[in-house]
Amino acid sequence: MTFPPPSAAAQPGRRLVVIGAGVLGVCLTARLAEAAGPGVAVTLLEQARPGHAATRSSFAWLNANNKTPRAYHDLNHAGLRAWSALAGAGAQDRPDWYRPSGNLEWADTPQAAAELTARAGRLADWGYPAHLISPAAAAELEPALRLPPTVTAVAWFPEEGYLLTEPMVADLAGRAARAGATVLSGEPGRVTGVDVAGGAVRAVRTATGQVIPADVVVCCAGRWVPELAALAGSAASIPLVPWALPGAEAPGLVVLAGPVTAAAAGRGGPARMVHSPGVHFRPHGGGQVHLEAPDVHADLHTGEPALGDLATELLARARAVASGLDTAEVTGYRVCVRPMPADGHSIVGWLPAPGGLYVAVTHSGVTLGAHLAELMASELLAGADRAELAPYRPGRFPAAPSPAPS
């Protein structure tokens, strides 16, 4: 399991601090630590446990399926290839957290079916593996499916898959530490201040009073990125889809259910990523399935018994279209706040001030993590300006207005 070789030598004597140990933060830290030369210090800070914020709850779908325009599709398609390269070409050598299972999707109305057919055609024209197959062929690929008799075609995306995020984060955080990075989590990793002098970042302060010298601070902390940038004195605008108020769009309900059992006909539970009209699901660790649905909404203000009722509804929907879940029960659920840039596209790059402050926030963190790590490392270590990231710079947003004088 290897990153590609560094594209340029690191500048000696640099001190880089990455804030946020989700998928993007751990990928970047491992990449920086392995590419950094002598005299380059890399520190990863996380206020909770690594991977236990949005990454832990992510559907973790590896895809470039419905991502437009073409440049953003290409960036995400490169993300799939980056994970394949990082995990290793041989199936026997691949880490268990990397699951290139493929993805099956079907529609339940004529309009939705036409849209799915058009999408599959567009993706195929772009060189992305996408096929319309018969229900019988879909059942061969995923024997657990209980396809409604009205379904006449199923879309098959063989390059897609998913990650088991908790073991992935643990693996990459450990790898970063072995390569020389310092990894601090919990109170020692909770950032309380960023020291700025001479127009540039100089150090990061943590809740335990530690002062960590820094020439570069990289904010990879999801929904907290705007707050961290402001903590460093930046006036840049980093607009995210609202997440804190009742009815906010960014939060979503994540449900786990199990155990998955063999059905009476000898069919087990789902083995692939599946997008059915009423529920999306994939295997999870420990004999469970991960369930989500775009039309089932919960936010940080949704309480019981509503959350439990919604979780039960998702499991009922999954039972209707997949075997192996008839005796399964809901084993857990949570509301996940997804970091979602306001225009739907990643925000990656240097902020205009203070110097040395770099941000990265994206809703496609799992798909893009390994690839963005390589692109960002080139910019952070070698001063390169990667053309692939040009459309996603923070400068595309107007600067935040200055506060009115009191």
In one letter, which amino acid is 374? E
User: pLDDT tens digits, residue range 294-329?
Assistant: 999 999 999 999 999 999 999 999 999 999 999 999
In one letter, which amino acid is 376? M
Provide the whole-model pTM: 0.93
- What are phi and psi for residue 29, nearest 5 degrees? -65, -45
User: pLDDT tens digits, residue range 112-166?
Assistant: 999 999 999 999 999 999 999 999 999 999 999 999 999 999 999 999 999 999 9
Measure the CA angle with vertex 244, ends 243 and 248; round to 5°: 50
3-state secondary structure 202-258: EEEEECCCCEEECCEEEECCHHHHHHHHHHCCCCCCCCECCCCCCCCCCEEEEEEEE
Domains of the chain plus CATH, in order, are 15-56+165-240+342-395 (3.50.50.60), 103-158 (no CATH), 246-338 (no CATH)
Any residues with CB less than 8 A from the CB of 72 and at least 6 apart, and which?
345, 391
pLDDT of residue 36: 86
